[in-house]
């Protein structure tokens, strides 16, 4: 059963921020409610008051401004899936959005809610980490931006203060010669939390070379290109979504030959701090991490 709470319905962002400031720490935002409502039913928390931020006009929309893709703090996962700017500049986010829950949940669930909820398995986190996203936080006092890599503090803990709202997620447009992929293993194909999820991104030193090379009958990349910068982000393998820094270093300045990919995948598995739980053992998660990172790197040039 749902506990009793007061529900506040602001009409503007300013009203919402005022309400949160007055009620903090006993008030909490609710957007799609796809985490909040099950958590209230399950007794995870009992806020005296919920401030409904769904549909606030200032939090809507996805736009491009000054080299940044801006995803409003109220944008749903379904909207991300349909958006042409996301398809063009952040297809890895789209790839992850497609694996989150089911169409029904995606119609309500917001990207900001996924990040603010701070589950270690949040599917929006790895793609946004490899895209160097920033979280824009607003309060009655003003606005600040936090790189997503510094946003998560622990399981369901972030740097967001109770009176702050995520008003936008800001993604610098990746360079032209950048490719990224997202892979997820879960116990089912839909409506399933990740056992492990992973996003990888490689920015190439040169334009696409004209010569494809195949090794062991498989294609791993394009000739003439060196990895200038790499990002590897992992979910459900530590208390927060993480970057695998050592694995990234192992790719930089290299052609993505099979042995380079294998070494990076091993280092990514070593970066994990996995636990046993109902979805998988720690050892299985480590193994899956290595396989997912390898597949993602090998799959950089295949279609999402």
Ligand X SMILES: Cc1cc2nc3c(=O)[nH]c(=O)nc-3n(C[C@H](O)[C@H](O)[C@H](O)COP(=O)(O)OP(=O)(O)OC[C@H]3O[C@@H](n4cnc5c(N)ncnc54)[C@H](O)[C@@H]3O)c2cc1C
* Shortest CB 198 distance to ligand X, Å: 13
Looking at beta carbons, which residue is closest to ligand X?
Answer: 113
Comparison of 6 and 219: residue with beta carbon closer to ligand X: 6
121 versus 227: smaller Cβ distance to ligand X: 121
Task: Write a three-state SS string for 259-296.
Answer: HHHHHHHHHHHHCCCCCCECCECHHHHHHHHHHHHHHH
Q: With respect to ligand X, which residue has the nearer C-beta, 255 or 274?
A: 274
Least spacing, CB of residue 119 vs ligand X, in Å: 6
User: CB of 222: closest distance to ligand X in angstroms?
Assistant: 32
Shortest Cβ distance from residue 295 to ligand X (Å)? 19
CB 59 within 8 A of CB 53: yes
Residue closer to ligand X, measured from CB, 267 or 292:
292
Where on the chain is the footprint of ligand X (CB under 6 A)? Answer: 28-36, 38, 53, 73, 77, 100-101, 105, 108-110, 112-114, 116-117, 122-123, 160, 165-166, 191-193
Q: Would you tell me how many other CB atoms lie within 10 Å of the CB of residue 64?
A: 13
Q: What is the 3-state secondary structure (H, E, C) of 194-234?
A: EEEEEEEEEEECCCCCCCEEEECCEEEEECCCCEEEEEEEE
User: Can you tell me whether residue 18 is helix, strand or coil?
Assistant: helix
Helix runs in the chain, H state only: 13-23, 36-42, 77-82, 84-89, 91-97, 103-106, 111-117, 125-130, 245-251, 258-270, 282-298
Q: Which residue, 92 or 267, is less far from ligand X as judged by CB?
A: 92
| Residue number, 76 or 289, with CB nearest to ligand X | 76
The nearest distance, CB 188 to ligand X, in angstroms, is: 10
CA dist 131 and 298 (Å) reads 19
Q: At its nearest, how many Å lie between ligand X and the CB of residue 93? A: 12
């Amino acid at each position: 059963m749902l506990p009793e709470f007061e529900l506040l319905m602001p009409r503007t962002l300013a009203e919402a921020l005022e309400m949160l400031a007055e009620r903090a720490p006993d008030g909490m935002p609710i957007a799609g409610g796809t985490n909040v409502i099950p958590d209230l039913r399950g007794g995870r928390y009992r806020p005296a008051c919920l401030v409904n931020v769904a549909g606030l006009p200032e939090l809507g929309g996805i736009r491009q401004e000054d080299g940044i893709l801006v995803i409003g703090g109220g944008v749903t996962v379904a909207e991300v899936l349909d958006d042409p700017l996301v398809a063009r500049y952040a297809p890895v986010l789209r790839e992850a959005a497609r694996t989150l829950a089911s169409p029904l949940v995606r119609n309500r669930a917001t990207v900001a809610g996924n990040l603010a909820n701070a589950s270690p398995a949040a599917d929006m986190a790895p793609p946004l980490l490899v895209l160097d996203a920033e979280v824009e936080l607003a309060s009655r006092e003003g606005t600040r931006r936090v790189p997503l890599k510094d946003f998560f503090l622990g399981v369901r803990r972030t740097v967001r203060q109770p009176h702050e709202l995520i008003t936008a997620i800001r993604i610098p447009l990746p360079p032209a010669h950048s490719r990224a992929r997202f892979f997820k293993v879960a116990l089912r194909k839909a409506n399933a939390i990740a056992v492990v999820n992973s996003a990888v991104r490689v920015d190439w030193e040169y334009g696409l070379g004209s010569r494809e090379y195949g090794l062991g009958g498989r294609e791993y990349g394009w000739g003439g290109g060196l990895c200038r910068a790499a990002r590897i982000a992992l979910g459900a393998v530590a208390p927060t979504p993480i970057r695998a820094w050592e694995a990234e270093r192992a790719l930089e300045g290299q052609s993505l030959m099979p042995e380079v990919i294998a070494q990076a995948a091993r280092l990514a598995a070593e970066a994990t701090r996995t636990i046993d739980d109902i979805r998988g053992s720690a050892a299985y998660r480590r193994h899956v991490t290595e396989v997912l990172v390898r597949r993602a790197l090998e799959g950089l040039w295949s279609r999402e």
